[in-house]
Every structure is written in structure tokens, then in C-alpha cells.
Structure 1
Amino acid sequence: MTRGHLRAGERLPSEADLSKSLGVAPVTVREALLALRGRGLVVTRRGRNGGSFVAAHADPLTFAREAVRRTSRLALRDLGAHYAAITGACVRLAARRADPSETQRVRRRMEHIEELDAEAQRRLLDDVQIEIVALSQSARLTREQMKLQAELSPFLRLVAHETENLRRQGAHLAAVIDAVEAADPDAAGARTELMVAETIDALIRIQATG
């Protein structure tokens, strides 16, 4: 929702269908939906035409701006530090473990990014980040990254609303792919940390301007 894949008012698949498509246990889906309801992003209606629906106010950019206003500068820095630590560890491991053919497959996802509209570019960058982390061949780290990506994605989206920032994010990820393919864990980690630092700095500037 906060990544813009679903629109306000759109009905979500059933818990069983979500469980099957995401490859997770039904209880995991149930817990995730409960968390989304708690954040006001999903509403549940009973009856014949009931189900779970994206809340009418769940506009991704509006959500992100409100979230930035509610979050202290210290908390933003802490989120960035957590994200950089996990993602940095993942890409360093990917640089040590990834097969070149796997890295090239991820690179091909980026080849035509300029042909996409800004919204599709943002979603692609989110997906590519997960795919790079998956090259670490660590299921635990990949699951943790997916949770972190969901948390940071609205903020990345808000920063990427400016075209130049979107291009910067794309350039950072392309450089991480290069470092992973070159089996250079230090370069992969350093570029990831730079990307996160720039994002947090941009969020603090947005916060300062209200």
C-alpha cells in the first residue's frame, strides 16, 4: 500500500490467497493484516461483500509525509542506522556468494528503468533492492530485509518524489550491483550506507520544512 501497488478502496485477496501467493503461513498473513489495521491502512468489512480493503486515506505520499512529521529526528537516524546495518551486511554477503549470472539477471531489471514512469521506477528500485539482498543466499536476512524495506519504502518514495533523488537512488543501486558482481563487499556496503545516509538527510530536510 505505502509502495503504491494498491489503490485506496481496493479489495485485498483473501488470507488464503495471500498466504499462497507470498509463500508464507496463514498466521503470518493474519498478523500482517492486523498490523496494517492498527496503522489505519486497512479496513475490514463484514458481510456478503466484506473483506479487507485499502483505507480511503492510504495515499502513499500523504502517509509518508505524515509519518515523517510524527517521527523524531533521532528516530529517523535510528531507522537509517538499522537499515544500513542490515542491508549493508546483506550486500557484503551477496558480494561474497553471488554467482555472476545471478547478478547480471538483476542488472537486466535496471536496463530499461528510464523507459518507466516515476511510480514504476520507484517500485522497481524497491524490488531490485530485495533481489540484491536475496543474492546473499540467506533466507533469514532476506526476510529481515523485506520487513525493513516495507518500513523504509514510504520514506524512500517520498524522497524519490523529486526526479533528481530518484535518479540518485537508481545510480546507487546500480553501483551496488557492480560491486556485488565484482565480488567487492566493501564497495557494496559503502555504497549502500551512502544511499541510506543521503535518504535520511533528505527526510530530515523535508521534516524541517514542514
Structure 2
Amino acid sequence: MESSTVANAGDALFRPVRAGNAFEETVERLLQAIRLGVVGAGERLPSERELAERLGVSRVTLREAIRALSDAGYVESRRGRYGGTFVNDVLPDPPAADGRKVDNATLEDALGLRHVLETGAAEMAASRSLSPADRQHLTSTLAEAAAADVGDYRRKDSRLHLAIAEVTASGSLTTAMADARMRVNQLLDMIPLLEPNLEHSNAQHEAIVDAILAGDSEAARRAMTEHVEGTASLLRAFLA
């Protein structure tokens, strides 16, 4: 039996930023972690010292980024023994699309990248001998996505997809998946959440995870392909 998950989304997102735009990239990484559900509602971010070290930025830059996210309504800082920076239970609504259209090349680029990464991740995850911790990670994130209400669905959905990448044990793939997922979520935020589609997505999620847990890489790729193609159809319908 292989060891438990070694590639996690926290490592993927809290990687060193580039020096030229340290503040902006720090805000981006923290926001990614929040909006992808890596740090969930009501949960505490890593300490300032740890975050600054992992992101490769000064404490001053980190505090400025946290202050910006606090002002925007994403986090709150608490003092005291059990203090720190916590993700707010209710996040701001994403910007309205205002009837804007997305450039077709941009849309297809995002969808094509997602297809390659997500189907490959599902196949790769199913081909591994997963540890009990890996299997628990998949089943728990699946259950959280299935139980999520409309307001929190996208974060829980994203967390499940990242969990699939995490159990591949590939840090590079997890990093790429996190970045690609943010691109897709920006597009999804521009279209309505349709409850029948959420029910269908939950059923597809279950099929994907079942195939991974069964070690059936072909079925896992097939189930993920069906899932991402359904999302792509909705995005093309509303945005293309």
C-alpha cells in the first residue's frame, strides 16, 4: 500500500510568488485557496509566519494582502489566544457578468485545458494503489459536495476535483489543476447555477469517485469526460 497523499492543494496554492508582483500574487493565492475551498468557511488560514515563508514574501506584504481581503469581505482577523485570520462564513458574490460575452478562443482554451487535466487526473488517480487516507479524502470531499447548498456548492465542487488531483501524488498536476480550476470558476460565475444540473453533477461525481476507488482507470476517465463535457456545454450555451 502506498503512503498517503503527498500532493496537496495547500502546497500547490501557497507556493512562492514572483518578486515583481508580490502583493498582487499573494492576494491571488489566498483568494484561490478560499474560493476553491482549500481553506473552508470559518476555517483559519495558516499563521502569518508560515504563510510568509511558504509564499516567499515579507510579513508586511502578507499583512497588506490579508487586509485587502478583509476589506473585500473574504476574511476576518481575530485577536487572542485562539486568534488568527479566518475565512468568513459568507463570501461576497462574484462579479455579475452584465451580459458580457467571453471571447470564444479564451473559452475554448480554458475548457480544453480543463478536459486534459481533469480526465488525466481521474485516470491517474484510479491507476494508483490508494492509501486509506487517500480513500477517506475522496469519500469525505464527495460527501461534502453532495450535501452543499447552492451558495456553497462551487467551493465544495472545486474541493472534490482538487482532491482527485491530490491523490495522484503529483504536485505539478495539483498545481496545474488549481490554476485551471480558477479559470473555469471565473467562467462559471458568469452563468446561473441550475439545480437540475447540480443533481446531475453529484451523480457524476459519485460515478467518478467509485471508479477511482475501484481502480478502474478507463471508467474513471470516461466518467470524468462525461462530467466536464456537460459543464462545457452549459458554458458554451450561456457564454459563446
Counterpart mapping for 1:22-41 below 5 A: 24-27=54-57
More helix by share: 1
TM-score (norm 2): 0.61
Q: Secondary structure at the match of 2:168?
A: coil
Stretches (4+) displaced over 6 A? 13-16
Letter aligned with residue 96 of structure 1: S
Quick one: which of 216, 219, 238 aligns to 1:184? 216
Overall identity of the aligned pairs, in %: 20
Letter aligned with residue 132 of structure 1: I
Letter aligned with residue 194 of structure 1: E
Q: Which residue of 1 aligns with 2:122?
A: 91
Quick one: which of 103, 112, 133 aligns to 1:72? 103
CA contact (8 A) 1:100 1:181 kept: no
Q: CA deviation at 1:78?
A: 2.1
Q: Secondary structure at the match of 1:111?
A: helix
Distance 2:115 2:180 in 1: 10
Q: CA deviation at 1:151?
A: 1.4
Distance 1:80 1:153 in 2: 11
Q: Which residue of 1 aligns with 2:68?
A: 52
Q: CA deviation at 1:90?
A: 1.5
Alpha carbons of structure 1 residues 112 and 59: separation in structure 2 relative to 1, 3 Å: closer
Letter aligned with residue 97 of structure 1: R
CA contact (8 A) 2:204 2:223 kept: yes
Distance 2:227 2:95 in 1: 20
Counterpart mapping for 1:2-41 below 5 A: 3=35, 17=48, 20-21=50-51, 24-27=54-57
Alpha carbons of structure 1 residues 23 and 170: separation in structure 2 relative to 1, 3 Å: farther
Q: Which residue of 1 aligns with 2:140?
A: 108
Q: Which runs of 5+ in 1 are unaligned?
A: 6-12, 34-43
Alpha carbons of structure 1 residues 21 and 162: separation in structure 2 relative to 1, 3 Å: farther
Matched residues, number: 181
Distance 1:120 1:70 in 2: 25
Alpha carbons of structure 1 residues 24 and 145: separation in structure 2 relative to 1, 3 Å: farther
Q: CA deviation at 1:113?
A: 4.6
What do you get for the CA RMSD once the two structures are aligned?
3.7
Quick one: which of 187, 192, 205 aligns to 2:237? 205
Q: Secondary structure at the match of 1:103?
A: helix
Letter aligned with residue 169 of structure 2: Q
TM-score (norm 1): 0.68
Letter aligned with residue 20 of structure 1: E
